[in-house]
Amino acid sequence: MERNLNPHPKKIALFLIVFAFLFLPTIDALAKLLGDGISAGQIAWCRFLIQTILMGPIFFWALRKHKAQKILLQFMRGVLIACTTVLIFASVKFMPLAEVIAIFFIEPLLVTMLSAIILGERLGWKRLAATTVGFFGALVIVQPNYELFGLLSFLPFLAALSFAFYMILTRKLSQVESAGVLQFNSGLSGLIFMSVMLATFSNFDIPMLEIKMPQEQEWILLILIGVIATLGHFILAFASKYIEANILAPFQYFEIVGATFLGFWLFGDFPAPIAWLGIITIVLSGIYVFKSETSKKTGFLQKKR
């Protein structure tokens, strides 16, 4: 009954979701535009610095009401998103943007399996089969890229695995902590972790962790990455208040559309036919899993967060 009284916020949220998922690949496109000039680690460091600055006022406002919970787990969550960010930024420097995003979308399927292992959720044979099919779809995309990029083509896999663990921690922590505090702490933890990594390994000739002083145009791109990343996650947080998570999740595949457009427009990259086969396989597998979850929760429309 309540959802019929206020239909407009839900429509606005749905519009914002589509916009956000189409627009979020801009972060990776900007990282790719930075090319070899700025390392993936330094881009990630700047991204978390800006997120921490932007989220600081909200954090200190929320801190007046209650103390932060489970600090160690929140720090681990920040480390995981930092690792994910570095791996994605490193991937787009070497591979077509759309294919990186498509491989990364094995992540919802990994979350399905990790939820069963870590959180004790049931994993039926249909979801297991869909997860396996999606994994092979990612391998289809990687296969031609492996000939060109070698082991670097598996970076999006590692990013997806890191982000899957990040999502598992998010599920646990969201029960005891506000979204604003979680986002500030993930930014601060990511900033601390990347500062240590850059300070420790920047002199070891590791391309992903090199440090240099950005030029004026590079500063602009770095600031844009931080602002877009922070605001994009705010949009998703707003939308999640009005749209159930299992309905929200399939819209994540709009990122492949945005990544394909940006990759073609900015870099002239367009997925090969064999890559499209893998992309479609991953998308269909992911949608099947979420549809399966939705059908099992017949009463989710009555729940109000």
Q: So what's the pLDDT on residue 143?
A: 65
Start-to-end C-alpha separation, the chain: 15
Say yes or no to pLDDT of 284 above 70: yes
Residues 91, 95: Cα–Cα separation, whole Å: 6
Closest to 256 in 3D by CA, of 91, 98, 85, 20: 98
Say yes or no to pLDDT of 23 above 80: yes
Q: So what's the pLDDT on residue 2?
A: 43
Q: So what's the pLDDT on residue 247?
A: 56
Say yes or no to pLDDT of 238 above 90: no
Instruction: Please give the average per-residue pLDDT across 120-124, as a whole number.
Output: 65
Say yes or no to pLDDT of 47 above 50: yes
Residues 216, 9: Cα–Cα separation, whole Å: 40
Say yes or no to pLDDT of 220 above 90: yes
More confident residue, 18 or 244: 18
Instruction: Please give the average per-residue pLDDT across 226-239, as a whole number.
Output: 80
Lowest mean pLDDT, pick from 106-120, 233-247, 253-267: 233-247
Neighbours of 282 (CB within 10 A): 28
Closest to 112 in 3D by CA, of 131, 129, 137: 131
Reported pTM: 0.76
Q: So what's the pLDDT on residue 197?
A: 93
Radius of gyration of the chain measured on its C-alpha atoms? 19
Instruction: Please give the average per-residue pLDDT across 25-49, as a whole number.
Output: 90
Domain map (residue ranges) of the chain? 7-302
Instruction: Please give the average per-residue pLDDT across 200-213, as a whole number.
Output: 85
Say yes or no to pLDDT of 58 above 80: no
Contact (CB, 8 A) for 16 and 243: no
Q: So what's the pLDDT on residue 303?
A: 38
Contact (CB, 8 A) for 2 and 304: yes
Residues 194, 61: Cα–Cα separation, whole Å: 26
Confidence class of residue 298 from pLDDT cuts 50, 70 and 90?
Answer: very low
Around 118, how many Cα atoms within 13 Å sit in the side-chain half-sphere? Answer: 15
Residues in the chain: 305
Q: What is the pLDDT of residues 143-176, one digit of tens each?
A: 666 655 666 778 888 998 998 888 788 777 766 7
More confident residue, 264 or 41: 41
Around 255, how many Cα atoms within 13 Å sit in the side-chain half-sphere? Answer: 24
Say yes or no to pLDDT of 194 above 90: yes
Q: So what's the pLDDT on residue 225?
A: 94
pLDDT exceeding 70 applies to what percent of the chain?
Answer: 74
Say yes or no to pLDDT of 108 above 80: no
Q: What is the 3-state secondary structure (H, E, C) of the chain?
A: CHHHHCHHHHHHHHHHHHHHHHHCHHHHHHHHHCCCCCCHHHHHHHHHHHHHHHHHHHHHHHHCCCCCCCHHHHHHHHHHHHHHHHHHHHHHHHCCHHHHHHHHCCHHHHHHHHHHHHCCCCCCHHHHHHHHHHHHHHHHHHHHHHHHHHHHHHHHHHHHHHHHHHHHHHHHHCCCCCHHHHHHHHHHHHHHHHHHHHHHHCCCCCHHHCCCCCCHHHHHHHHHHHHHHHHHHHHHHHHCCCCCHHHHHHHHHHHHHHHHHHHHHHHCCCCCHHHHHHHHHHHHHHHHHHHHHHHHCCCHHHCCC
Confidence class of residue 26 from pLDDT cuts 50, 70 and 90?
Answer: very high
Neighbours of 2 (CB within 10 A): 7
